[in-house]
Amino acid sequence: ILNVEQSPQSLHVQEGDSTNFTCSFPSSNFYALHWYRWETAKSPEALFVMTLNGDEKKKGRISATLNTKEGYSYLYIKGSQPEDSATYLCARLIWGYQKVTFGTGTKLQVIP
Amino acid sequence: DTAVSQTPKYLVTQMGNDKSIKCEQNLGHDTMYWYKQDSKKFLKIMFSYNNKELIINETVPNRFSPKSPDKAHLNLHINSLELGDSAVYFCASSQEGQGAKNTEAFFGQGTRLTVV
């Protein structure tokens, strides 16, 4: 993997369903991985900062895991709600803080 | 009390003009960034800057230049605007030097630039 890739690109789920999506990234020179939530017409807001292989983070119904050796992170949303509708971005940082690369995002729409 | 603020929110201008977008952060962060959201909605880093160095993405035309009068401000100047410069530009800041756990960026609300 040469770039930061996210899949799927978009996702529609019913309210109450649980869902997950993937961020894949080059594993070399890994420093940190960020997850951001980006609502339409707003600016991205940080959800998680993950730094160690095996990290698991949780905030309410949203959680994330990290595998730095194989270069992927999963974001999980349990019991999706309409207010979860947003684009979820991941960003990989490598040594040298300025070298941050964003993924293309997963656009989630939760249908009431 | 906005943490990272950009002005203006909307900017419509003619080709060939020179314009600036201002960014201010009150978080005490030492690193600021400019991002461009391209036509495919991807966020691409343009510049990162702290009091030590300016890092420029080599794909950014030299018509774009960041100006930092002090640690809390990083303004974006664009000379000779072109139609292809139309995009949403985001300013962000983060705190470096305190380990990887504190590296998340805080974003401004974006400036929609339209070149006509």
Query: Which are the contacts of A33, defined by CB distance < 8 A and separation ≥ 6?
Result: A23, A25, A49, A50, A51, A66, A68, A73, A90, A91, A92, A93
Q: Alpha carbon A110 to chain centroid distance?
A: 17
- A53 vs B contacts (CB less than 8 Å): none
How far is Cα B85 from Cα B81, in angstroms, rounded to an integer?
Answer: 7
Average pLDDT (B50-59) is 77
pLDDT at B99 exceeding the cut of 70: no
pLDDT digits (tens, 9 = 90+) for A2-55: 689 999 999 999 999 999 999 999 988 888 999 999 998 889 999 999 999 999
A102 → closest Cβ in B42, B94, B100: B42
- A100 vs B contacts (CB less than 8 Å): 33, 45, 48, 105
How far is Cα B94 from Cα B101, in angstroms, rounded to an integer?
Answer: 11
pLDDT at A68 exceeding the cut of 90: yes
pLDDT > 70: percent of chain A: 95
Q: Alpha carbon B25 to chain centroid distance?
A: 12
Phi-psi domain of A61 (left: phi exceeds 0; alpha: psi -120 through 50; beta: other): alpha
How far is the alpha carbon of A104 from chain B, nearest alpha carbon, in Å? Answer: 5
